[in-house]
Amino acid sequence: MIEARGLTKRYGDKKAVDDLTFTVRPGLVTGFLGPNGAGKSTTMRMILGLDAPTSGSVTVNGRPYTKAVAPMREVGALIDAKAIHGGRSAYHHLLALAQTNNLPRRRVGEVLELTGLTQVARKRSGGFSLGMGQRLGIAAALLGDPQVLMFDEPVNGLDPDGIRWIREFMRTLAGEGRTVFVSSHLMSEMEHTADHLIVIGRGRLQADCSVKEFIERNSELSVTVRTPDPGSLMRLLAASGARIEARGDGALTVRGLTPPQVGDLAFDAGIRVHELAPHQASLEEAFMEMTRDQVEYRASAGGPASGSGFGGQPPAEPPLPSRGRRGRGRDRQDDPHHLIGA
């Protein structure tokens, strides 16, 4: 269990982390999300005692991590997988860590096996691929068989196989009852990995809830409808108060009406419908809505997109007028605790 209470970190006159209070519970994968510069790494460093809070506190299993008698048995952390002596083999890297931390030698073989590195254990780690380097970092984190695991952006730069492996591994660790805290700015990845989310923006807590709740509260259910007569259907639905967007692929996105309402209106007017489906926003779309004003270094729309993540991304959809999603998001940002304590 990780507990932060009023955790604050100031660099000069900038608050990198601002009065964060949250609990990371065992048995779940908790995603720690926020745009670039939101304060995720600073928070993780404070949890590990690598940075001192300006005020507030954070404990691991009830006490500050710096007070842990056997740190590697308390927390396993993957913060920077490249921080490894490249001339050493994976085996010797892990053995050195085990010996300096008073951990049994047998753990080296066990964690090599767990992370699928046994076959390459005697090779120089400097020649490892990014994915193998991440596995080695995770093997090191597991050496002390800790109950709490923290991963800072573990899937960055990995191929789909590597991403899937890390995702399943984190889920297994949580399934064993461990506390798994993982930071990421890759929304599509977190949607499939995390049970719970802690979201920060500009150092402040924005949400502390499940993935499902986050999506439901930050997006509006819409209806996708296809018809050979879009003009008539658009006029009909607009007259019933719906907001309609004609998509490039010929479908209409309708907001403000349910799928049965759209179907019934079309039927009564004798308009053929070829597709009618509810659409729930993805985690990424819900995030883009909530953090619209919080990305510290957002490229202009049309700038380089970074995949399914924060920053460098144009909004998922153009802003809608008055009752549109942008308006909804703004209202909520005035109350940063609207999702907290759900």
Ligand X SMILES: Nc1ncnc2c1ncn2[C@@H]1O[C@H](COP(=O)(O)OP(=O)(O)OP(=O)(O)O)[C@@H](O)[C@H]1O
Tally Cβ neighbours within 10 Å of residue 2.
23
How far, in Å, CA of 222 to CA of 210, rounded? 21
Radius of gyration of the CA atoms of the chain, in A: 24
Q: Do 306 and 313 meet the contact criterion of CB atoms below 8 Å apart?
A: yes
Helices 283-290, 325-333: inter-axial angle, 10-degree rounding: 60
Residue closer to ligand X by CB (options 153, 191) is 153
Residue closer to ligand X by CB (options 10, 124) is 10
Q: Do 174 and 28 meet the contact criterion of CB atoms below 8 Å apart?
A: yes
Minimum separation from the CB atom of position 42 to ligand X (A):
3
Q: Do 156 and 188 meet the contact criterion of CB atoms below 8 Å apart?
A: no
Minimum separation from the CB atom of position 119 to ligand X (A):
33
3-class SS letters over 11-53: ECCEEEEEEEEEEECCCCEEEEECCCCCCHHHHHHHHCCCCCC
Length of the chain equals: 342
Beta strands 243-246 and 252-255 are antiparallel
Minimum separation from the CB atom of position 267 to ligand X (A):
49
Q: Do 117 and 135 meet the contact criterion of CB atoms below 8 Å apart?
A: yes
Residue closer to ligand X by CB (options 153, 220) is 153
How far, in Å, CA of 18 to CA of 28, rounded? 25
Residue closer to ligand X by CB (options 36, 101) is 36
How far, in Å, CA of 110 to CA of 199, rounded? 34
Minimum separation from the CB atom of position 153 to ligand X (A):
7
Minimum separation from the CB atom of position 146 to ligand X (A):
22
Minimum separation from the CB atom of position 90 to ligand X (A):
26
Residue closer to ligand X by CB (options 37, 162) is 37
How far, in Å, CA of 155 to CA of 31, rounded? 13
Minimum separation from the CB atom of position 11 to ligand X (A):
3
Residue closer to ligand X by CB (options 14, 337) is 14
Minimum separation from the CB atom of position 229 to ligand X (A):
47
Q: Using CB under 6 A, list all residues that contact ligand X.
A: 11, 16, 34, 36-42, 185, 296
Residue closer to ligand X by CB (options 107, 204) is 204
How far, in Å, CA of 23 to CA of 224, rounded? 38
Q: Do 326 and 339 meet the contact criterion of CB atoms below 8 Å apart?
A: no
What do you get for the CA distance between the two ends of the chain, in Å?
19
